Amino acid sequence: MGGGCVCTEASCGVGFRCLEGKCQFCNLKEACGPACAPCAAPTAVCTPDGTKCVQCNDALDCATGEKCKNQTCVPDCEAQGCASDLGPKGTECDTARIIGRLDALAGKLVKGDTTYSGNDDDLWSGGSVCYDAESDDFYRIWLKAGDTLDVTVTPLDSFFDVMLKLYKGISCAGDTTTLIGCFHKGGDGKADAFSYKAVDEGWYTIVVDGRYAFEEDQDWGEYELLVKLTCPQTGCCCL
């Protein structure tokens, strides 16, 4: 009957199967490895070379929010801004000093001075809490959704009336479209603070400014800035 050659499982050899009369390489989840056996959870994917069943070959094999690392699905927990860069003076928004996520995780304390800083971020809100002075310093940090950022600024001069601002992104200079908030409790020599839980991933800019209300107020000076980051993921995604 018919003149073609038909394979058998025995004739195909190790790592192959007989399918539709032909020897097929076993690199499918239905037939994988030397025994050409089906893959099953938690290792439900066959490697391209047909050697074994694994969790994944790429991110498409993993659930949303996971990536494939060493053929295992792990949380996609990579973040920018892990390292600090406190080199620039940070007296302008576009040269803000970067506070790294790992340093912020431990609690980063920075000493600064706005005495000779310019007025790169100026807000006027009819006398509201966002009405600021001229001298300001800038710091930048990368946040992931779900991170909590706690910032405290303490003036080192009893006459310095300090205030804080927080922007989404790397643009400030009075940009109220990206302004998250201004924080000022009032009073010379008093510390100010805020706590913010990030909704979006990206860069955020912290501004240390002075509050100007009366001519005799001092709206510049030395300060200490404490930046603390709390993350839902181990190591703040800087693994």
- Mean per-residue pLDDT for 117-142? 84
Q: Is the pLDDT of residue 1 over 50?
A: no
Q: Give me the pLDDT at residue 66, please.
A: 83
Q: Is the pLDDT of residue 174 over 80?
A: no
How many whole angstroms separate alpha carbon 64 and alpha carbon 57? 15
Q: Is the pLDDT of residue 231 over 90?
A: yes
Tokens coding 89? 């003076």
12-16, 125-129, 162-166, range with the lowest pLDDT:
125-129
Does this model's pTM top 0.75? My answer is: no
More confident residue, 141 or 10: 141
Q: Is the pLDDT of residue 205 over 50?
A: yes
Q: Give me the pLDDT at residue 61, please.
A: 94
Q: Give me the pLDDT at residue 4, please.
A: 47
How many whole angstroms separate alpha carbon 235 and alpha carbon 194? 23
Q: Give me the pLDDT at residue 215, please.
A: 55
For the chain, residues classed under CATH 2.60.120.380 are 93-237
Q: Is the pLDDT of residue 2 over 50?
A: no
Q: Give me the pLDDT at residue 3, please.
A: 41
How many whole angstroms separate alpha carbon 210 and alpha carbon 155? 10
Tokens coding 106? 């431990």
Rg (CA), the chain: 29
CA atoms within a 13 Å half-sphere pointing along the CA-CB vector of 58: 2
Residue 17: pLDDT band (50, 70, 90) is confident
Q: Which CATH class is domain 93-237?
A: mainly beta
Residue 76: pLDDT band (50, 70, 90) is confident
36-74 pLDDT, tens digit each: 899 999 999 999 999 999 999 999 999 887 889 899 998
Chain center to CA of 141: 8
Q: Is the pLDDT of residue 237 over 60?
A: yes
More confident residue, 92 or 142: 142
Q: 125 Cβ partners below 8 Å, 6+ apart?
A: 131
